[in-house]
Structure 1
Amino acid sequence: MAESILSLSGVRADIDQYHILHGVDLEVPAGELTVLLGRNGAGKSTTLRTIMGLTTVTQGKVRFRGEDITGQPTPRIARKGIAFVPENMGIFSLLTVRENMVLAAVDGPMDPARLDWVFDLFPPLKKFWNRAAGNLSGGQKQMLAIARAIIEPRELLLVDEPTKGLAPAIINDLAGAFEQLKQQQVTVLLVEQNFNFSRRLGQSAAVMNDGGVVWSGQMTELADNDDLQHELLGLGLGEHQ
């Protein structure tokens, strides 16, 4: 396994009076796509938000490239090279695709070569460049959300349930884009409920339950073991389309 770019050690986090994370231990290998799996309410989305400093850590450490980033402000964490695509996508509906992308390029004008690369990943964005983002389809909005996160080089991309509510054809397009990101060795931590999508893309995997990681390893190990899938997730990956 590659060296970890991100590690969580004994991370506990609360939201209001609720204890959500109960000692999360997680390693994210550099240059790989890691999938974070688990039932609804297991703590997957909270884990991503905690990494970004959006949920307060009450115990444990979050380390990025060996540096303790626990408790640092979210803008400082982002400037270290971590991008976050939340489940609600976080785009500006009243602004055009172009304006959304310009705002995301915080370090200055967009690099034309990198923008062309993004257009290769997500061709509809070029077609609808001057369209209000709120008028895009659900799949196109998701493409825009991911494009905003990668318009500048990032060392780590956190993505929360990108396929939720999307049609199979759009999911397939997204999978193709993530395959290209993998070829570029972009490190991705992906929270996902679509297990076939996860099996197709994941190199490493971790399974959460009740606010903690209960299993981690290679995705092939999980994908090839129906008994393990049922034990950890309650059903097999192959039972989902």
Structure 2
Amino acid sequence: MSDDAILRLSGVHTHIGQYHILQGVDLQVPRGGVSMLLGRNGAGKTTTMRTIMGLWRASAGEVVFDGQPIHSLPTPAIARLGIAYVPENMGIFAGLTVRENMSLAARSGPMDSDRLDWIWGVFPALKKFWDWPAGNLSGGQKQMLAVARAVIEPCRLLLVDEPTKGLAPAIVGALIDAFGELKQETTILMVEQSFHMAERIGDSVAVMDDGHIVHAGSMAELASDTELQGRLLGLSLEGAL
């Protein structure tokens, strides 16, 4: 992995109530490209994302973004540094139109027309359904809207939690293409359950188990080693996590 990490977690512990979820997470996210965060259900992946965003507070350890400690900052301040987050539940407003959802996400003012044209190029369906209520979109289109909202203003780091969960294969293919485009302009850290998705777009990978990082390296290396996949992820061949 590159020494030029845009994000570093060092010895991070997170408690949620009485539960000790993260138990000393050490994670480096290289600058540029897509870093995958994989692991079995309950390993601590979503907790890691929410801890980075300050939605859950680290009880020990450091989260450092581009040289600046952020683990004590409130979530809005973390977002202002250029970190955007797409949660597993997408976080869109079903009763508002696609246009209104996007307008709300443009925090610094009206949507930039050039930026909007670029987003429509990445997600053509959003232009087609621009004035539709977001609640009327398909699951895949809602996911595209959630990602588009996160990048309507350029960000330095995009956190995405399980973007392909429950989506049809054709939609997954479209998202793979979209993230391939997005990673040209921003660093992405993605939690994903589909190993097919992970090996298609991932550049680096970290694997979690029981609140720890148990493996880190290149995605290509993990994708080519079926024995390692089985040991770390319980994969039989190419199946989902």
2:54 is the alignment partner of 1:53: yes
8 Å CA contact 2:193–2:240 kept in 1: the answer is: no
Residue aligning to 2:219: 219
CA distance in 2, matches of 1:236, 1:203: 22
The alignment-based identity, stated in percent, is 62
* C-alpha distance 58-237 of structure 1, shift in aligned 2 (>3 A): farther
- Give the aligned residue type for 1:162: P
Q: What code does the residue aligned with 2:33 have?
A: E
Q: Which residue of 2 aligns with 1:8?
A: 9
Is residue 99 of structure 1 aligned with residue 100 of structure 2?
A: yes
Per the alignment, residue 239 of structure 2 pairs with: 239
Retained in 2: the 8 A contact 1:196–1:237? Answer: no
Letter in 1 for 2:91: G
The secondary structure found in structure 2 opposite 1:55 is coil
Query: Which amino acid counterpart does residue 148 of structure 2 have in structure 1?
Result: A
Residue 35 of structure 1 is matched in structure 2 by 36
The Cα of 1:234 is off from its aligned counterpart by 1.1
Stretches (4+) displaced over 4 A: none
Aligned equivalents of 2:240 and 2:139: distance in 1? 21
C-alpha distance 106-237 of structure 1, shift in aligned 2 (>3 A):
farther
| Alpha-carbon distance, 1:99 to partner | 0.3
Q: Give the aligned residue type for 1:180.
A: E
Q: TM-score, normalised by structure 2?
A: 0.97
In structure 2, the residue corresponding to 1:102 is in which secondary structure? helix
Contact 2:7 2:64 in 1 (8 A): yes
Aligned to 2:18: 17
Is structure 2 residue 148 aligned with structure 1 residue 176? no
Which runs of 5 or more structure 2 residues have no equivalent in the other structure? Answer: none
Unaligned 5+ runs, structure 1: none
User: Partners in 2 of 1:237 and 1:121 — Cα distance?
Assistant: 31
Assess if the C-alpha contact under 8 Å between 2:37 and 2:45 holds in 1.
yes
Give the CA RMSD over aligned residues. Answer: 1.1
Is the partner of 1:57 in helix, strand or coil? coil
Shift of 1:56: 1.2
Mapped partners of 1:9, 1:61: distance in 2:
5
Shift of 1:240: 4.4
Whole-angstrom CA distance in 2 between matches of 1:188 and 1:132: 28
Give, as a single letter, the amino acid of the residue that structure 1 aligns with 2:80: R
Report the equivalent of 1:86. 87
Distance 1:190 1:236 in 2: 22
Q: Could you say which residue in structure 2 is the equivalent of 1:114?
A: 115
Size of the aligned set, in residue pairs, is 240
